[in-house]
Structures are given as C-alpha cells and as structure tokens.
Amino acid sequence: MITIKKLWLGGVLLIPCQLLAGDVDSSLGDLDTLVGRWMALRITIAEENREWDTRREQWNDEIDLLEKEDETLKKEIDENDSFATSVEKRRTVALARKELMETELQKLCLVLEHYESDLIRWKKRIPPSLYSSLRAAFSTLPTKHDEARNIPLAKRAQTVAVLYTQIETLQNKFHTTRESLDTNGIHRQADVLYVGLARAFAISPANDWAAIGTPSDNGWLWKDSLGDGVAIRHAIDVLKHKKTAQLVELPMQITEVVK
C-alpha cells in the first residue's frame, strides 16, 4: 500500500512517499534528521545575518571615519601646499630685500668712508684748545679700511653724526682762549678769538703783537697783522664782557670753502 503524507514546514511542502509499510519508521527518522539539520541551518543563517548586520554597521562607521579622515588629510595637504607656496613667496621676498639691503649697505659704506675721511681732515682744522670736547668721539673714528670693517656700520654712522654735530656747534659760536702759538718758529702766548672754525684772531697779553689765523689740512696758519691789534683786543674784551657790547670791525676774508 502506498501512503502519501503532506508536510508543511517553513512554507515548504514536503511529500514523503513510502512504498513499504516496514520502512515508515526509518523514513520518519530520516525526516526528523533532515528537519533538524534544516532547522540548524536556518538558525545558522539567522545568526550569520545578525552578525553580518552588526559587522556592516561597524564597517559603515569605519568607512565614515575613513572618509572624514581622508577629507581632513586632503585639507591638511591643501593647507600645507598653500603654506609651502606662501613660505616660498616670503622667502623670495626676503631674498630680494636681503639683496637690496646689501646693495644699500655697500652704498652706505662708501658714504661713511667719504665722511670719515673728511672728518680726519677736520681733526687737523680744530684748534687744540677746542679739541677736548671732541676727543672721545674722534677716538672711535676708524682711520684705516681694515679697522673700519671690524666696526658695525651703525656705530660708525653714530660716530660720524656725533662729530659733525659737535663740529657744527663749534662753527656757530665765538670762542676765546689763551694758548701758545707757533709763528715763524717763535712760540708766543696770546689771547685768541675764534670765529667758529673759519678764522681766528690773536693778540699778545701786552698788545704788542697780533695775528690772523686760518685753518688748513696741516693745522692753523698764523700771519702777523699788527695793524689790527686794537680791534682784536677790543673784540676779545667785548666777548669776555669786559666792555659793553658794540660793533667791532675785524679783518675777515673768505679764502677757501671746506667741502
């Protein structure tokens, strides 16, 4: 006798057929085994699906993080490129400024050398009696090229400015001194009136000798001028406030312009 059973399980129609009644128990056992294996497989698939969903969420989170990190890195690369470009531009500008400054410094060196040489000439044109106020500044003035190279430009420029300022101060004033003068190999004591650093008038204490002095690169040169003694003494007395202020005529003649 043939027995056909319909078995619905999980939406699947199972139709086991038995041709022999003696094999029913064996077939049922096999069916239970298959059903158990099928159930186990379904459970395994469900677990795999859950694990897949969990891993997919993790992977999606990791992908999001990686994409954000990628954006951050791209931004940093762009910023680094921009920074590198900016640095290169600043470097180019700095090099150009450096070259310009070196060129200007060379020009400044030439200017300083010119005025330092000029001041060395002025040193000989300043009377010894008026030199004391400039001695300290002149001591820092380089007299040789090798010596000048070892002095900072700023210090050299400061020395030049100080000396010209002090010389200008002497130029704008009258000065009276008593000093020993060498004229024609003769040393004489004399009262001297300096009109700035351009001209000087000297007269002996006894008023029996007078001279006019002019500056030169070899020091002051004195020329006798006996006929002007009275005027020279009068001018000195007025400057020393020994006489009331009044006009005094002195022999003045411009013979050279110091450049």
In this structure, is residue 232 part of a structural domain?
yes
- Predicted TM-score of the model (pTM): 0.57
Measured N-to-C along each axis, helices 153-171 and 24-125 cross at an angle, to the nearest 10 degrees, of 30
First CA to last CA distance, the chain? 147
Spatial CA neighbour of 12 closest among 50, 38, 46: 38
The 10s digit of each residue's pLDDT in 168-185 is 999 999 999 999 998 877
190: in domain: yes
Residue 94 has pLDDT above 80, yes or no: yes
Tell me if 95 is assigned to some domain: no
Query: Does pLDDT of 162 surpass 50?
Result: yes
Q: Which domain holds residue 215?
A: 174-239
204 in a domain, yes or no? yes
Assess if residue 2 is contained within a domain.
no
* 179 within some domain: yes
Q: Is residue 227 in some structural domain?
A: yes
Structural domains counted in the chain: 1
Q: Is 127 helix (H, G, I), strand (E, B) or coil?
A: coil
